[in-house]
Amino acid sequence: MPSLERIRVLIVDDIAETRENIRRLLQFDNLIDVIGAARSGHEAIDMSQQSKPDVIVMDINMPDMDGIAATEIIRKKVPFTQVIILSVQNDQSYMRKAMLVGARDFLSKPPTIDELTGAIRRAGAMAHDERNKLAGAFSGGGVGQTATTPAVAQQMGKVIVTYSPKGGTGVTTIATNLAISLQNEENRVMLIDASLQFGDVTVFLNEQAKNTILDLTARVDELDAEFIEEIVLKHSATGLRVLAAPQKPELADQVTGEQFTKLLNYLRHFYTYIVIDTACYLTETVQAALDIADIIILVTTQDIPAIKNANLFLTLADTSGIKRDRIMFVMNRYDKRIAISPERIGESLRQEIVITIPLEERIVPSSINKGVPFVLDFKTEPVSKSVVRLGELIRERIAKFMEPQPEPALRK
């Protein structure tokens, strides 16, 4: 049921007439209180810290600081506040950037009354939910938590994408074993099969999914924690949450990049880590995953075609603005007998290989065929230890990203 608590809204736009028009649109909804209006991005940051609104209606184009930059700062300083971006340009690139910094919705100007109030009500319900969770987390509370109401810290969950531009390098094997190695009492993990046409994560886990990602993306603007728990598969051996790919290849096109980005941003409220298994082709959904990823596990083997394709991807990442420190280069099926060394590849591609996962011709194929990840049955084997170590390196890299950075100086 939607929350009946009143929703406190801050309007941000550099044009006074627009601010007033939005205020008039909202005055007829008895659940919405407009608590203030800001004329600039900097003013919005200051007011959001002081008044802590539930929802901010934010213009994207402002002279001092655009709405996307302001949203990113506000979401860090006031984590439960949800931001709705307004723009006269219905541009997919703007929409993607807005979602990546944590915006809840993106509407074209001028929105209709129903569009705007509907978006604010959905965002307000999420803000109330998040504020209550934060209050519970900081009041010492783990008692009485359930799977659908986890205590969360101020930091959002982290998205880890496993990817290789060459098929057959073992991406799914790494994704499934990594997700299980990250799962423990403190960390809730979801594994998403984003190889939408021919995904087989459930096969690797010896599970059958009744529902798929389509059940969530079709309702991406109406999600709640209880519904997600109904849809996702719970791995019988570990409790890992799994979101399966569509059951028919032709259904893959029903998931758009925009829907996938919104879904990931919502899931980040409830899971410490979201591990995404991807196809080798740069589909719209795979690109959305790579854009939003905190960490990209780039997988190669010692085969020349795999190395060549990894090099092409790194070049593409450079031109696309994906920072190299977000990429963790991994060599799978490493065989010391082959002369192509990880050091040599790392030097040639200007990207260090952070870890090698050894070739294991007996354990890995057997674990795949049985549907039992090797980190469960062969914990002491080098192949399992290497995946566990990869999880440790991911946590270290994320911790480094979260170290306090100097804030940009405010313009006078």
Q: Any idea where the domains of the chain sit in the sequence?
A: 7-137, 158-401
- 7-137 folds as Rossmann fold (3.40.50)
Q: Return the number of other C-beta atoms located less than 10 Å from residue 190's C-beta.
A: 24
The Cα 275–Cα 242 span in angstroms is 10
Asked if the bond preceding 111 is cis, omega within 30° of 0, the reply is no
Report the pLDDT averaged over residues 377-392.
96
Mean pLDDT of 300-318: 96
Measured between alpha carbons, how far is 73 from 100 in angstroms, rounded to an integer? 12
Percent of the chain with pLDDT over 70: 91
| Residue pair 317/327 in contact by the 8 Å Cβ criterion | yes
Burial class (CB in 10 A: 0-12, 13-18, 19+), 240: buried
* Residue with tokens 């450079």, as numbered in its chain: 318
Contact 155, 81 (CB under 8 A): no
Pseudo-torsion of CA 271, 74, 319, 105, nearest 10°?
70
Examine the pLDDT at 191 and tell me if it is beyond 60. yes
The tens digit of pLDDT for each residue in 51-61 reads 899 999 999 98
Q: What pLDDT was estimated at residue 137?
A: 45
Average pLDDT estimate for 287-314:
96
Averaged pLDDT score across all residues of the chain: 88
pTM recorded for the entire structure: 0.70
42 neighbors 410 (Cβ within 8 angstroms): yes
Query: Any idea which fold 158-401 has?
Result: Rossmann fold (3.40.50)
- Split at pLDDT 50, 70, 90, the class of 134 is low
Question: Do the domains 158-401 and 7-137 match in fold?
Answer: yes
Per DSSP, 52 falls in state: -
Whether 296 shows a pLDDT value over 90: the answer reads yes
Q: What is the pLDDT of residue 405?
A: 53
Residue type, 53: P
Continuous H helices in 268-333: 284-292, 304-320
SS3 229: helix
What angle in degrees, to the nearest 10, is found between the helix axes of 284-292 and 257-267? Answer: 40
CA dist., res. 375 & res. 155, Å (int):
28
